[in-house]
């Protein structure tokens, strides 16, 4: 989030939970069975836990996961487990208290670390997402690998994409990340088991439950296997994170019939492009990730 904040959106322009559930019901009826609740930080919206509970009741919904920065998580782990959340993706870009505070604009590392431990203890599938930047946190690559193997969880490194404030030139290619980790752990081997629904390529140590995941949107495009569409808080279905294009569901939600909603969802799915153009900045979505559900 930029230090100066972002433009506020009136609640009248944000989908109600009832509207979100209606979209999910239509999507589930079309065979979309797995859902991820994202943000910004989704736990700051009052009633998020109730949304998860209601989504779990929808016929056809097999899985609900949530992305979070972990700051509000320590007090909510039990509620999330009770609500039936199937997994947590926790953002953590440094293992050093001062650096974490700088990157996050005042976040407290110990809260995120506590949340990770509580999530593991509660039996929730726990993954950590780390975004590396040159001259900022690239020296922590071995520390994050050690953290994954110590905790027995997945730590994924995500390449910076040029969405909003993203600057790929400041990022670290995952090929370089893998080389650093392999130098520290020569027995690291590629893991072909399925860890989730996404594009990460995983590596692990023999006999260890932890794993290193590489999400390489820039240097190893996975567009041909992308199976995701994204619903923004204002009702836009985005077929691809790269582009500003999308389908506005609000007109369909104004109808008493669900047919227009299903038609709009199908239109968005059929709009999915063959690939992204992240290396051509003139074609890329200009909004910040926090505005589109990063």
Note whether residue 232 is domain-resident: no
Note whether residue 131 is domain-resident: yes
Contact 144, 93 (CB under 8 A): no
Contact residues for 15 (Cβ-Cβ < 8 A; gap 6+): 23, 231, 233, 234, 235, 253
Going residue by residue through the chain, which has 294 residues, state the pLDDT in tens, using 9 for 90 and above.
Answer: 667 777 788 988 999 999 999 999 999 999 999 999 998 799 999 999 999 999 999 999 999 999 999 999 999 999 999 999 999 999 999 999 999 999 999 999 999 999 999 999 999 999 999 999 999 999 999 999 999 999 999 999 998 876 555 566 777 899 999 999 999 999 999 998 888 877 889 999 999 999 999 987 666 566 676 788 999 999 999 988 767 788 999 999 999 999 999 999 999 999 887 665 555 555 555 556 566 665
Q: Is 41 helix (H, G, I), strand (E, B) or coil?
A: coil
- Whole-number Cα distances in Å, 167 to 44, 102, 134, 164, 216: 27, 18, 11, 9, 15
- Structural domain range at position 139: 11-222
Note whether residue 32 is domain-resident: yes
Note whether residue 185 is domain-resident: yes
Note whether residue 114 is domain-resident: yes
For the chain, give the mean pLDDT.
Answer: 89
User: Which CATH number covers residue 55?
Assistant: 3.20.20.70
Question: H or E element: which one contains 89?
Answer: strand 87-91
pLDDT digits (tens, 9 = 90+) for 165-200: 556 677 789 999 999 999 999 999 999 888 887 788
Which alpha helices (H) appear in 109-214, and where do they start and end?
109-121, 141-151, 174-184
Measuring CA to CA, which residue among 65, 28, 31 is closest to residue 195?
A: 65
Q: Is 157 helix (H, G, I), strand (E, B) or coil?
A: strand
For 67, phi then psi, to 5°, come to -100, 140
% of the chain surpassing 70 pLDDT:
87
pLDDT digits (tens, 9 = 90+) for 43-73: 999 999 999 999 999 999 999 999 999 999 9
Q: How many domains does the chain have?
A: 1
**Taking the model in full, what pTM does it have?**
0.88
Note whether residue 199 is domain-resident: yes
The distance in angstroms from the start CA to the end CA of the chain is 11
For 252, phi then psi, to 5°, come to -70, -35
Note whether residue 204 is domain-resident: yes
**C-alpha count within 13 angstroms, C-beta hemisphere, residue 269:** 12
Note whether residue 228 is domain-resident: no
Note the pLDDT of residue 114: 98
């Amino acid at each position: 989030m930029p230090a100066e904040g972002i433009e506020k959106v009136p609640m009248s322009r944000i989908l109600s939970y009832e509207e979100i559930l209606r979209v999910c019901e239509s999507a589930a009826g079309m065979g979309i069975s797995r859902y991820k609740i994202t943000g910004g930080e989704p736990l700051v919206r009052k009633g998020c836990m109730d949304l998860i509970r209601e989504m779990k009741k929808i016929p056809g919904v097999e899985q609900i996961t949530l992305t979070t920065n972990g700051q509000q998580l320590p007090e909510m782990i039990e509620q999330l487990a009770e609500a039936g959340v199937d997994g947590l993706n926790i953002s953590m870009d440094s293992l050093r208290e001062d650096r974490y505070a700088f990157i996050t604009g005042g976040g407290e590392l110990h809260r995120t670390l506590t949340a990770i431990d509580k999530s593991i203890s509660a039996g929730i599938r726990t993954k950590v997402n780390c975004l590396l930047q040159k001259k900022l946190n690239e020296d922590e690559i071995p520390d994050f690998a050690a953290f994954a193997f110590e905790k027995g969880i997945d730590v994924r490194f995500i390449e910076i994409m040029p969405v909003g404030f993203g600057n790929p030139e400041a990022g670290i290619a995952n090929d370089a990340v893998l080389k650093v980790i392999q130098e520290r752990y020569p027995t690291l081997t590629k893991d072909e088991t399925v860890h989730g629904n996404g594009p990460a390529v995983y590596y692990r140590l023999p006999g260890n439950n932890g794993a290193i995941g590489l999400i390489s949107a820039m240097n190893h495009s996975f567009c041909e296997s992308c199976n995701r569409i994204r619903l923004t808080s204002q009702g836009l279905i985005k077929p691809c994170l790269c582009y500003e294009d999308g389908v506005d569901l609000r007109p369909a939600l104004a109808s008493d019939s669900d047919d227009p909603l299903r038609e709009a969802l199908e239109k968005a799915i059929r709009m999915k492009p063959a690939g992204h153009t992240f290396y051509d900045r003139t074609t890329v979505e200009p909004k910040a990730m926090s505005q589109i559900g990063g």
